[in-house]
Chains A and B, each alone.
Chain A
């Protein structure tokens, strides 16, 4: 059994969807993803790659970036933006701005791979950007098509239009 320090360097093989070759990830990084962590703990590190077909490789890379960052930080729980307030620390802010376009897929991946910090981060981003916006603005920001049926929409606007400056 390898010593605790070495275990951090153990290489785990993960194969996301549309990746041609499996990606070698250090355990210290990989264990941020709880699903990987549990699997390693239950079954040990195997030669075969762990397939994660739900996650595309580009999204996976982003997740890896996040995990990489937080494997280097010592006290994981305190620096990650997981607390209940809506504060986002600086690195996370930059990170989000870079990858904002893929925020949805990122969150789905984080949910599946169980990276709580990343999931919370995404949620906070969304929440922060929903505050103080009209529905129209929200639709515009999040690129949500207006799928109301037009006549129905008109009726609704007539009744509730007092908060819509359309």
Chain B
């Protein structure tokens, strides 16, 4: 070493490294170290000096004996694992071959626990070794391109422990435990979980799947599939539908639970898929259609929970919802069609209620006060039945099927089907509304009224022949208005506005016209009364006239009014009014509709006076008896000639006066039928507890008999023909030229809101129009031109 000159700030010479001899020879170092490692494996680490062994390892690496160190440690670890296998694991190999899952379970559990404890042992040792060999890990391992000691330990465990046959035993032990739990036995979940954790941490190749994924999971899936296929069949045979569903749901929950608790979370999806494929998909139709417990029964008994469960489970598989849809549709259709034919068990004695039964106008021989087979209650019953059905299914849909859209659509289709299957549906619905507006809504609050009307509109939407409904509704409304039978004006208007919302304003134009007429009439009457009071003439009676604009009111009511000769007092009053009115409105023509009117008349009987409400015709008849005594009588012929009424009408009126409940006239001879030779006298002895009596004419709003039906249908058809033609002309005028198919489609589309036109009838109309030179056929015979 050179010395430093005093005062000179020269760098010192660096002392060279002394080549120090190692403290001990290499083999000795290794021996000590390997002894120490073995002590660690024997759980005797507390006696060792950490520092010393650390130093040994350090020295070996520094003295380029890293290889020896590394390989030595690895072989020691491997030996240790083998020892563990022999000591702990092999003794607990499950030996029971036969027996069910529960019998094998304790052995499996012990085995899995043994595997786990070997692992714990190994890890404990590896942790200590890792600390000890840190220097080697830091310096030697990267240089030599080997695995860190920890990773190497993992690999060794994999090779020595998790190989066949041990791995096979592990797998079968796990499967066994799973099966035991599935059968309902309690198992030690943590034993399985701890073993699965080990498998999850080890992998064969870097970045490859871990042992669980590659070896265990496929087995679990395979065995689960087999297990559940068998179970599906077994359950179907032994359970009814709700039980089956409950069990399936339980299985879903338990498998999910299992995957989360002691298998790997990733197994949850394949397991639930297996459940879907084995328990649900193949058995969908069988479960739904199970007799005495399937879908229909659940619906009948309002088993909301079971239905919800059904829905929940079925929505897991794609075919589930479509199966459910079909079943619901079938159910609705079945129930709906049974409504149209009410059964014999009808307690009102409505019997078959067949629409084609002969109308029993003349007598209700059954002695019950209820309606005859054609009475309005058939209609109401049907509509109420449909409404109840719809309510029920809506309820189920909302509560159990969580308002699923597809199912909702299917149900609506089914309802549409039912409603349109009944050819008299439009008429029935109109009658239902009629009943309600006349009596049914009495005493209900506004809200309740609204609800009933809304529900009716709901049903109305399903009708495809809306024009038939319009026709009936018009007739019924007219009768209601004219006879002031409406329970509430508000309700009427509310119904009208709802119809307007549904169908557009031209649908309700004429209906509104009727309302306006009524209002105008009452204004006119006020003016007339003022006019009369000015004239100071004291009329014998109060005349109230309702003026109907003929366009608005149904033709059936107003065409060809039956003739009647009124007594002089009446006809004078009528003429007065006519003059008054025509003076106000020039250029109008009034036609008296005597058949639609009624009169209040006070009649003196022997016991007391009664106020009778009778039709105008009946009034004409009664007035003839006005000055006659009780012994005087008029014959049928006399009545016929004096009143000038037509025979059927006269007979009808006489029936209501003499043969019905309130016999104001006496018929000689008494009986139900009016014959030509009968004579009538005033019945002075008539009594009744009520002061005011309404003597209705025998026919009130009822379901049409077949003749009337045919008539209505003819009218409908005719109107439809006109509609179709008008529509065709409109379209052709717009487009000038169109293909045949396009024209048919366009017509169907435009008229669809009112009714469904048949392609055949459209074709006929087209040909008709061609004959009348509105259209012409083109050369290619497929399209048409518009002729102005």
Contacts and interface: CB of A to CB of B under 8 A. Distances in A.
A104 B55 contact: no
Contacts of B59: 54
Given A102-B14, A104-B15, 7 more contacts: A39-B50, A53-B23, A100-B12, A101-B13, A105-B15, A141-B14, A143-B14
Interface in A85-113: 97, 100-105, 108, 112
B11 interface: yes
Contacts of A38: 131, 134
Contacts of A43: 50
Contact of A51 (B12, B13, B52, B134): B52
A144 B19 CA distance: 12
Contact of A102 (B15, B23, B55): B15
A142 B13 CA distance: 8
Interface string A112-131: 10000000000000000000
18 contacts: A38-B134, A51-B49, A51-B52, A52-B51, A53-B23, A53-B55, A54-B58, A100-B11, A100-B12, A102-B15, A104-B16, A105-B15, A112-B58, A142-B14, A142-B16, A143-B14, A143-B15, A145-B16
Interface string B4-46: 0000000111111100000100000000000000000000000
A75 interface: no
Contacts of A42: 50, 131
A104 B14 CA distance: 8
Interface of B: 11-17, 23, 49-52, 54-55, 58-59, 131, 134
A39 B51 contact: yes
A143 B51 contact: no
Contacts of B11: 97, 100
B50 A101 contact: no
A144 B23 CA distance: 24
Nearest to A99: B12
A86 to B, nearest CB: 18
A109 B360 CA distance: 124
A101 B17 contact: no
A50 interface: yes
B50 A143 contact: no
A113 B13 CA distance: 25
Contacts of A50: 51
Interface of A: 35, 38-39, 42-43, 50-54, 97, 100-105, 108, 112, 141-145
Contacts of B52: 51
Contacts of B17: 104-105, 108
Q: Which 6 A-B pairs have the closest CB atoms?
A: A104-B17, A143-B16, A101-B12, A101-B15, A143-B14, A100-B12
Nearest to B15: A101
A144 B313 CA distance: 84
A51 B55 CA distance: 10
A103 B14 CA distance: 7
Contacts of B134: 38
B131 A143 contact: no
Contacts of A39: 50-51
A97 B459 CA distance: 104
Contacts of B14: 100-104, 141-143
Contacts of A100: 11-12, 14
A65 to B, nearest CB: 17
Contacts of B50: 39, 42-43
Pick the most buried of B23, B50, B52, B59: most chain A CB atoms within 10 A of its CB: B50
Nearest to B13: A143
Contacts of A54: 55, 58-59
A160 B11 CA distance: 30
A144 to B, nearest CB: 7
Contacts of B15: 101-102, 104-105, 143
Given A42-B131, A100-B11, A112-B58, A51 B51 contact: yes
Nearest to B49: A51
A50 B16 CA distance: 28
Nearest to B128: A42
A121 to B, nearest CB: 15
Nearest to A144: B16
Contacts of B12: 100-101
A39 B54 CA distance: 11
Contacts of B131: 38, 42
B506 to A, nearest CB: 87
A112 B52 CA distance: 13
A144 B131 CA distance: 36
Contacts of A101: 12-15
Nearest to A97: B11
A23 to B, nearest CB: 15
A39 B23 CA distance: 23
Nearest to A50: B51
Nearest to B18: A105
A38 B11 CA distance: 37
A143 to B, nearest CB: 5
Contacts of A35: 54
A142 B17 CA distance: 10
A51 B54 CA distance: 11
Contacts of B23: 53
Contacts of A102: 14-15
A112 B15 CA distance: 20
A144 B51 CA distance: 33
Nearest to B58: A112
A50 B12 CA distance: 33
A33 B49 CA distance: 19
A145 B55 CA distance: 30
A54 B52 CA distance: 10
A97 B55 CA distance: 30
A112 B20 CA distance: 15
Contacts of B49: 51
A42 B13 CA distance: 41
A50 B13 CA distance: 33
A97 B12 CA distance: 8
A101 B134 CA distance: 30
Pick the most buried of B12, B54, B59, B131: most chain A CB atoms within 10 A of its CB: B12
A142 B16 CA distance: 7
Pick the most buried of B14, B15, B55: most chain A CB atoms within 10 A of its CB: B14
Contacts of B58: 54, 112
A50 B52 CA distance: 10
